[in-house]
Amino acid sequence: MIALVRMRLAGLLRTGRALAPLLAGLVVLGTLYGGGRAQPDEAYGVSAVVLFPVLAWQTKILLDVEPDVQRRLAQVTVGVARERLAGFVAAGVAALVAVAVALIFPWLVGGVTGPVEPEHRSIPVGLALGLWAHLLAVPAAVALGALASRASAGGAAYGVAVLALGGVGAVVLGLSDSVAPWLAPPIMATARTTAGDAAALTLLGLTGWALAWSTVVVGGYLWRRRAQG
C-alpha cells in the first residue's frame, strides 16, 4: 500500500497538476495577509477557512490523476479496502504539506505579529490554535474532495458541483443561524473560536463535529464507489 501511496503522490507532482492548487493557495493566502498584520490565532483561523476548498480541490486532482484502468489494477493487486485507504493517505499527506506551507507563509510576508495588547494570546498558544484549526479542516476537505473525485462522482459535472457546493456551503451554512449548521463542517465555527474564547470543551466539541461530518462524507464516498463499481 505504501508503494501505491507513493505512486499517487508522484503522479500528482510529475504531471504538474499540483501547481494549480498550490498557486491558488498562495494567492488566497497572499490576499488574506496583504491587508496588514494580525494575531496568529485570528489569522490562522481565517486561513483554515480559505484553505478548506483548496485542500478539497487538491484531493480531487490527486485522485483523478490515476487512470481508471490503473485504479482497477490496484484494487486487484492490494485489495479494494487498501486501494481506497491509499487514496486517503496520499491525499492526507498532500494536505499536510499544504498546511505546513500555510503555517509558515504568513511569517515570511509579515502577515502576523506577536501580542500587542494584554488580552492577546502568546505566540505559542496562537500557533497551537492555528495548527488545530488547520488540522481540523484536513479530514473534512479530504472527504469532500474524495466524494467529488471521478471514481465517486462518475461525471465531471457532478464532481464539480459537489466540490463547489461543499466549499461554498461550508461558509454559507457556517455564517447562517437559521439553517442547521451541522450540515457543513465547522470551519467557520473554528475560525470564530480561535479568535474568541477557545475553551477546552468547545475545542473538543468542534473536533468531534468535524470528525463526525468527515465520517459521514467518507461513507457517502465509499457508497458511491461501490455503486460505480
Q: Is 174 or 51 the better-scoring residue by pLDDT? A: 51
In this predicted structure, the answer to whether residue 179 has a pLDDT above a threshold of 70 is no
Residue 229 — very low, low, confident or very high, per pLDDT cuts 50/70/90? low
Summarize the chain as % helix, strand, coil (round to 5): 80, 0, 20
Lowest-confidence pick of 57-71, 84-98, 173-187, 201-215: 173-187
* Residue 110 CB-density burial (10 A; 0-12 exposed, 13-18 middle, 19+ buried): exposed
Q: What is the CB-side half-sphere exposure of residue 104 using CA atoms within 13 A?
A: 6
Rounded Cα–Cα distance for residues 108 and 48 (Å) = 18
Q: Are 159 and 153 in contact (CB under 8 A)?
A: yes
Residue 201 — left, alpha, or beta (φ > 0 → left; ψ -120 to 50 → alpha)? alpha
Q: Are 63 and 91 in contact (CB under 8 A)?
A: yes
Q: List, for residues 161-177, the tens digit of each pLDDT value.
A: 888 888 888 877 777 65
Lowest-confidence pick of 18-32, 56-70, 106-120, 139-153: 106-120
Q: What's the pLDDT score for residue 153? A: 75
In this predicted structure, the answer to whether residue 178 has a pLDDT above a threshold of 60 is no
In this predicted structure, the answer to whether residue 225 has a pLDDT above a threshold of 80 is yes
Rounded Cα–Cα distance for residues 76 and 35 (Å) = 52
- Region 209-224 average pLDDT: 93
Q: Is 71 or 50 the better-scoring residue by pLDDT? A: 50
Report helix, strand or coil for 66. Answer: coil
Q: What is the mean pLDDT of the chain?
A: 86
pTM over 0.75: yes
Q: What's the pLDDT score for residue 219? A: 94
Q: Which residues pair with 119 in a beta bridge?
A: none
Q: What's the pLDDT score for residue 140? A: 95
Q: Is 81 or 229 the better-scoring residue by pLDDT? A: 81
Give the residue extent of every domain in the chain: 2-228
Q: Which residues pair with 112 in a beta bridge?
A: 38
User: Residues with Cβ < 8 Å from 138, sequence gap 6 or more?
Assistant: 55, 92, 95, 96, 99
Share of the chain above pLDDT 90, in %: 32
Q: In this structure, what is the dihedral angle of CA atoms 106, 112, 114, 118, given to the nearest 10 degrees? A: -150
Q: Are 206 and 190 in contact (CB under 8 A)?
A: yes
In this predicted structure, the answer to whether residue 43 has a pLDDT above a threshold of 70 is yes
Rounded Cα–Cα distance for residues 151 and 153 (Å) = 6
Rounded Cα–Cα distance for residues 34 and 14 (Å) = 31
Q: List, for residues 72-116, the tens digit of each pLDDT value.
A: 887 778 888 888 999 999 999 999 999 999 999 888 888 787 777
Could you write out the DSSP letters of every residue in 158-211?
HHHHHHHHHHHHHHHHHH-SSS-GGGS-THHHHHHHHHS---HHHHHHHHHHHH
Q: CA-based Rg of the chain, rounded to a whole angstrom?
A: 18
Q: What's the pLDDT score for residue 4? A: 84
* Residue 98 CB-density burial (10 A; 0-12 exposed, 13-18 middle, 19+ buried): buried
Residue 138 — very low, low, confident or very high, per pLDDT cuts 50/70/90? very high
Share of the chain above pLDDT 70, in %: 97
